[in-house]
């Protein structure tokens, strides 16, 4: 009979460990749910947290149990009247031709997955396309330490045994030649003398000359001298990489509603997370624009809102300026990613800037238009879209892109992807959060697949 | 927990102890309470015990509980109590003081039930030690043979661990001996019988038996019994597999033994769930009422208690809540026996008005409750005390499934209370563990299991997977004789290529006569 308080119960972590085991078992389910997970708003709003929660269905433990027969079911309790629907379950997609999921009590739970793991399974064989070795000014990436040169002085712990032994043998051979020259004896006697003199040349010569050698054949041993010792020296290891810079441009004007901004951000969030993980040498430049473009830091880019009018060309102008000043094309692989809702007050000017940019021979330009299945009425009767159409608006920026480039179309999952490999322009339309993942995949394909 | 609060809690514990022994006339094993942090509590709940082996199932449950806890469960009066001597119970640190008191009172209810109910008499009280030893050994196995191998055995063991009873302790040899004697006695009895109506003249019975004949008969009987394996159909599937599997190594057998022991330990707990929770609920309500009456808890605490108590006894639209249904039944028993509303007189009384005012002031209610609590288990408890009136009182109903294009709807059916009562009682048959027996260990190069059909079919998906588990333990074909949709079927699980597959064989038998037809030897195509 006692009450004991265990405040500092050292958590055994058993639950977490076994949860990990379960997670491995349902890895497939996690992979299937990745699409929902990456479009989950909580990932972006929770700063710095490296853990994502994914809803999954737990595995079942199989036993002999009664099934639900015809007319069967269960007992329940409550104010329901005969014929009332007390609960509803969405039917599962048919798997292996079997009907599943009509058993009540299948509950969903959330499992915790590391963002790194998600990135790994999402972008398993993806990378930046069209990456090139730039001739000028490559970047040195430290890769840890390596043993490089061999010196006569150094710390004893870094002694190079093989080199030292080689040196000692070489020197012994020279000594033997010296002895033969000096005394005219046989090679065997010379070796024996050197050995009995414990490696000392002068004593050996003296021994042989005075004929005081003990009659023992030489063992072939070698004596070391300080001069023989060789040491390894460590040096910083570097790898030479091509430079790459990614310009992440986003429209943050008033027409970008909360939902659109959220999609844009979640897409760029995963892009940057992925790039940071995969390439150590990629520099990411964040640019937001309304009626003027601004280079901002990551924090500002993802977590702050803006509003105002829309001049898309400003962003491209800014990038062009940066390419000229900071990231010259002969040094850098240049990738520009632009996300907007397609609304632009001056699309012709924008296309001019795009032209300028492409003429600079950049590696890739990706344009993503967010086109939610929303009605125009969402903007109100005098919303921006109506205003735009009143001043001769010709549809979204996408139309201009389509006119300008010779796109090949692929339709997939209810949306369209465009690709112009000659000019290295990619474009796609995102309609809902399910499209974020395919759009990312569209953008990041390996060079091999082009 | 603050020191002050702890002291107060110790004081409350003393008061409860006195109340339980003196007023409620209950006995119980000593109880040890541990106050633990939230996450530890969830862990213990997921593992159902503070000492448990490692398995992905527990990890899954942990994650599920944590999700519920974080989404809706904050402030729930979580409670874990483990039967043993001393019984162990856990209080969650973040709970409020009245909730602590409620949980403690509830635990007292459980422990008195464990101590006094007759089905728990055979249970071992040192089970935590067994599991803690097993946990250590299993970790060692995981290191030596790999997590995957151990998990395979544990999963298989879990799937059939409830098919054994703590009351069946006869070994195969003892059974053989017993059956041998029974048959012999039967034989000699038949010969000596003077009663004409015994089947003395059945054609296959020899007219006269010499002493030598008797010896030959006995020898033959002995040999027959020796060849039979199992000698009589047994429910203890794991025992049979451990003794007869040709592929299991000692460490694998050890794992299965532990899991079987766990199944036997849980046997009475599974079979008394509604009684157990109902009993604990009325005990905690009585204790809490006493604490409020004595002024140990203030009126301010009343709100907190009411809130948590209402959560415990909440209605569930798709399931019966054992706390609510069980406690309602115990209260009903108490009231009926207090007022003398039982026996022939009460049942024969036709006048509704008279019945309404029936009160003989017998005040035998609590004694009856004690009697019921000591000797019943769920199935019989519901048969005897689940009245038709209770269906209306608790708003109970049955639901069925209705499929539409995109959804599966659970729809309330239109049954009258009597039918609902029947259905609910039937659902407690064998406490939802289907009765499955090992019948023949040498059946067509495999093992024959027979499902004693009691009106409900087995779930096919679950059955297949379980049979595959059994296959993994024996590596011989697994036959299951059962009835599906009113047709007798013989299911077989066997190895085809690298995959264990299920095949549903021809109609084997007539309904209601399971074993006989299954004996006709027939080769599998």
Cβ neighbours, 10 Å, residue B399: 23
A272/B17 Cα distance (integer angstroms): 63
Residues of chain B with pLDDT under 50: 196-197, 510-525
Do A312 and A350 contact (CB within 8 A), yes or no? yes
Q: How far is CA B225 from CA A428, B34, B168, B177, B237, in A?
A: 77, 53, 20, 9, 19
Cα separation, A324 vs A332, whole angstroms: 11
Yes or no, beta carbons of B395 and A72 under 8 Å apart: no
Instruction: Please indicate if any CB of chain B lies within 8 Å of the CB of A328.
Output: no
A79 touching chain B per CB within 8 A: yes
- The candidate with the shortest Cα–Cα distance to A79, out of B326, B418, B317, B319, is B317
The 3-state DSSP composition of chain A as helix, strand, coil percent (nearest 5) reads 40, 25, 35
Q: What pLDDT, on a 0 to 100 scale, did the predictor assign at position B26?
A: 92
Burial class (CB in 10 A: 0-12, 13-18, 19+), A255: buried
The beta-carbon neighbor of B413 closest among A22, A82, A103 is A82
The arrangement of strands across the sheet holding A85-90 comes to A73-77, B396-403, B407-412, A85-90
Chain B residues with beta carbon closer than 8 angstroms to that of A87? 317-318, 399, 409-410
B17/A1 touch (CB, cutoff 8 Å), yes or no: yes
Cα–Cα distance measured from residue A29 to residue A31, given in angstroms and rounded to the nearest whole number: 5
Residue A276, both tokens: 């940071």
Strands in A78-224 per DSSP E: 85-90, 108-114, 139-151
Longest dimension (CA), chain B: 88
- Output the pLDDT for position B18: 92
Distance between CA atoms of A104 and B89, rounded to whole angstroms?
31
Chain A partners of B390 at a C-beta cutoff of 8 Å? none
Is residue A360 within 8 A of residue A313, CB to CB? The reply is no
Dihedral Cα B251, B257, B263, B267, nearest 10 deg = -170
pLDDT for A216 equals: 77
Question: Residue B263, SS3?
Answer: helix
Any idea where the domains of chain A sit in the sequence? Answer: 22-60+107-122, 150-233, 243-443
CATH number of the domain located at residue range(s) A243-443 in this protein: 3.40.50.410
Q: In which residue are the tokens 């599943």 written?
A: A100
Question: Residue ranges of the alpha helices (H) in B117-146?
Answer: 127-145
The pLDDT of residue B289: 92
Subunit contact B320:A75, Cβ cutoff 8 A: yes
A86 lies within 8 A of chain B by CB: yes
ipTM confidence? 0.82
Residue B391's closest chain A neighbor by CA?
A77
Whether residue B403 lies within 8 A of chain A, CB to CB, comes out as: yes
Q: Which residues pair with B412 in a beta bridge?
A: B399
- Within 8 A by CB and 6+ apart from B268, the residues are B117, B119, B120, B122, B123, B166, B377
Relative orientation angle of helices A14-25 and B56-68, to the nearest 10 degrees: 100
Cα–Cα distance, B263 to B252 (Å, whole number): 17
Q: What is the pLDDT of residue A408?
A: 82
CA distances from B467 to A353, A354, B250, B460, B515 (A): 69, 65, 22, 10, 19
Q: Is A56 within 8 Å of B94 (Cβ atoms)?
A: no
CA distances from B269 to A81, B89, B198, B323, B470 (A): 34, 16, 44, 14, 25
- Both structure tokens of B372: 């019921």
Interface of B with A in 206-245 (CB under 8 A): none
Q: Cα dihedral angle (A45, A48, A50, A54), rounded to 10 degrees?
A: -10
Residue indicated by tokens 């460590």:
A234
Q: Mark yes or no for CB contact B412/A72 under 8 Å.
A: no
CB A234 within 8 A of CB A154: no
Cβ–Cβ of A102/B409 closer than 8 Å?
Answer: no
Which residue in B has a C-alpha nearest to residue A66's C-alpha? B458
DSSP structural state of residue A373 = S
Q: Give me the DSSP letters along B60-101.
A: HHHHHHHHHIIIIITT----EEE-SSSEEEEEETTS-HHHHH
- Is B317 within 8 Å of chain A by CB? yes
Do B421 and B386 contact (CB within 8 A), yes or no?
Answer: yes
Per-residue pLDDT of chain A (450 residues; tens, 9 = 90+): 578 776 665 556 788 888 888 888 887 777 777 776 676 666 665 556 677 777 777 778 888 888 765 445 678 888 878 878 877 766 554 333 333 333 444 456 777 777 777 777 777 667 777 666 665 555 566 667 777 788 888 888 888 888 899 998 888 888 888 888 888 888 888 888 888 888 788 888 888 888 777 777 777 778 888 888 888 887 777 666 667 888 888 888 777 777 787 888 888 888 887 777 777 677 888 888 888 888 888 888 877 777 777 888 888 888 888 888 888 888 788 888 888 887 777 888 888 888 888 888 888 888 888 876 544 444 444 455 555 554 444 457 777 888 888 888 888 777 778 888 777 888 888 877 778 888 888 877 654 443
Is B231 in contact with B179 (CB distance < 8 Å)? Answer: yes
Q: How many angstroms separate the CA atoms of B415 and B396, rounded?
A: 10
The DSSP bridge pattern shows strands B87-92 and B31-36 to be parallel
Terminal-residue alpha carbon distance, chain B = 68
B472-514 tens-digit pLDDT? 998 888 999 988 888 888 888 888 877 888 888 765 554 444 4
Q: Does B505 touch chain A (CB under 8 A)?
A: no
DSSP classification of residue A61: P
* E strand intervals along A178-307: 231-241, 243-251, 282-289, 293-296
Strands A282-289 and A243-251, how do they pair?
parallel
Q: Which of B85, B108, B462, B470 would you mutate first to test chain A, the one with the most A CBs within 10 A?
A: B462
């Amino acid at each position: 009979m006692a009450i004991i308080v265990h405040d500092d119960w050292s958590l055994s972590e058993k639950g977490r460990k076994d949860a990990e085991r379960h997670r491995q078992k349902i890895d497939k389910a996690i992979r299937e749910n990745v699409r929902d997970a990456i479009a989950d708003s909580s990932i972006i709003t929770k700063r710095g947290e490296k853990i994502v929660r994914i809803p999954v269905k737990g595995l079942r433990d199989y036993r002999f149990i009664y099934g639900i027969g015809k007319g069967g079911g269960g007992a329940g309790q409550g104010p329901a009247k005969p014929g009332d629907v007390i609960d509803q379950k969405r039917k599962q997609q048919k798997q292996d031709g079997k009907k599943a999921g009509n058993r009540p009590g299948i509950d969903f739970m959330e499992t915790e997955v590391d963002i790194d793991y998600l990135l790994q399974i999402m972008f398993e064989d993806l990378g930046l396309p069209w990456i090139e070795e730039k001739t000028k000014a490559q970047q040195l990436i430290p890769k840890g330490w390596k043993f490089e040169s061999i010196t006569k002085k150094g710390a004893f712990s870094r002694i190079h045994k093989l080199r030292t032994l080689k040196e000692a043998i070489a020197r012994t051979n020279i000594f033997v030649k010296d002895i033969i020259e000096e005394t005219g004896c046989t090679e065997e006697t010379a070796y024996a003398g050197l050995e009995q003199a414990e490696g000392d040349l002068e004593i050996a010569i003296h021994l042989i000359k005075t004929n005081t050698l003990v009659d023992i054949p030489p063992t072939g041993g070698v004596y070391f001298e300080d001069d023989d010792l060789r040491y390894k020296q460590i040096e910083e290891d570097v790898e030479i990489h091509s430079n790459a810079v990614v310009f992440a441009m986003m429209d943050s004007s008033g027409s970008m509603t909360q939902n659109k901004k959220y999609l844009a951000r979640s897409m760029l969030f995963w892009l940057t997370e992925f790039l940071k993980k995969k390439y150590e040498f990629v520099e990411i430049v964040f640019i937001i624009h309304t009626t003027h473009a601004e280079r901002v830091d990551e924090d500002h880019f993802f977590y702050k809102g803006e509003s105002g009018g829309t001049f898309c060309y400003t962003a491209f102008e800014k990038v062009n300026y940066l390419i000229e000043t900071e990231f010259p094309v002969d040094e850098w692989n240049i990738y520009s990613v632009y996300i907007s809702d397609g609304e632009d007050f001056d699309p012709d000017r924008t296309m001019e800037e795009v032209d300028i940019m492409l003429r600079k021979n950049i590696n890739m330009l990706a344009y993503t238009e967010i086109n939610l299945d929303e009605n125009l009425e969402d903007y109100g009767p005098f919303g921006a879209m109506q205003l735009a159409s009143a001043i001769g608006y010709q549809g979204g920026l996408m139309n201009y892109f389509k006119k300008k480039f010779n796109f090949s179309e692929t339709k997939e999952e209810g949306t369209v992807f465009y690709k112009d490999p000659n000019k290295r322009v990619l474009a796609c339309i995102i309609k809902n959060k399910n499209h974020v993942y395919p759009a990312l995949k569209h953008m990041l394909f390996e060079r091999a697949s082009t | 927990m603050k020191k002050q609060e702890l002291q107060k809690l110790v004081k409350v514990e003393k008061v409860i102890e006195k109340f339980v022994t003196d007023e409620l006339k209950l006995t119980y094993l000593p109880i040890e309470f541990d106050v633990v942090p939230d996450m530890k509590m969830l862990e213990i709940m997921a593992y159902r015990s503070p000492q448990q082996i490692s398995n992905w199932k527990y990890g899954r449950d942990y994650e599920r509980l944590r999700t519920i806890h974080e989404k809706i469960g904050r402030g729930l009066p979580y409670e874990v109590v483990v039967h043993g001597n001393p019984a162990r119970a856990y209080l969650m640190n973040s709970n409020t003081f009245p909730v602590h008191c409620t949980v403690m009172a509830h635990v007292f209810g459980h422990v008195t039930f464990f101590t006094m109910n007759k089905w728990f008499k055979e249970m071992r009280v040192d089970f935590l030690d067994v599991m803690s030893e097993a946990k250590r050994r299993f970790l060692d196995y995981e290191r030596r043979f790999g997590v995957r191998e151990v998990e395979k055995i544990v999963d298989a063991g879990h799937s059939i661990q409830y098919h054994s009873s703590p009351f069946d302790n006869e070994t195969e040899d003892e059974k053989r001996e017993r059956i041998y004697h029974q048959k012999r006695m039967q034989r000699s009895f038949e010969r000596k019988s003077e009663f004409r109506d015994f089947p003395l003249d059945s054609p296959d019975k020899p007219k006269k038996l010499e002493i030598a004949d008797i010896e030959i008969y006995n020898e033959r009987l002995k040999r027959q019994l020796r060849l039979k394996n199992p000698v009589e159909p047994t429910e203890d599937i794991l025992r049979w597999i451990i003794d007869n599997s040709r592929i299991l190594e000692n460490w694998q057998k050890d794992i299965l033994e532990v899991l079987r022991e766990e199944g036997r330990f849980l046997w009475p707990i599974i079979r008394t769930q509604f009684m157990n929770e109902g009993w604990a609920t009325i005990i905690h309500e009585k204790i809490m009422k006493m604490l409020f009456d004595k002024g140990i808890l203030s009126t301010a605490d009343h709100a907190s208690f009411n809130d948590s108590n209402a959560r415990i006894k909440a209605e569930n639209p798709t399931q019966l809540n054992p706390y609510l249904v069980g406690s309602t039944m115990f209260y009903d028993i108490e009231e009926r026996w207090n007022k003398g509303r039982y026996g022939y007189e009460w049942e024969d009384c036709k006048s509704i008005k008279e019945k309404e005012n029936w009160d003989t002031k017998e005040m035998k209610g609590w004694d009856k409750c004690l009697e019921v609590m000591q000797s019943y288990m769920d199935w019989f408890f519901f048969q005897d005390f689940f009245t038709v009136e209770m269906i209306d009182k608790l708003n109970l109903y049955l639901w069925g499934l209705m499929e539409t294009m995109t959804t599966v709807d659970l729809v309330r059916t239109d049954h009258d209370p009597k039918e609902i009562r029947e259905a609910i009682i039937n659902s407690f048959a064998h406490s939802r563990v289907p009765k499955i027996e090992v019948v023949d260990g040498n059946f067509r190069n495999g093992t024959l299991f027979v499902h004693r059909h009691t009106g409900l079919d087995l779930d096919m998906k679950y059955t297949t997977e379980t049979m595959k588990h059994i296959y993994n333990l024996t590596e011989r074909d697994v036959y299951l004789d059962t009835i599906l949709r009113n047709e007798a079927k013989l299911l077989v699980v066997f190895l085809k290529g690298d995959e264990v597959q299920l095949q549903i064989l021809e109609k084997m038998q007539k309904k209601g006569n399971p074993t006989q037809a299954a004996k006709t030897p027939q080769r599998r195509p």
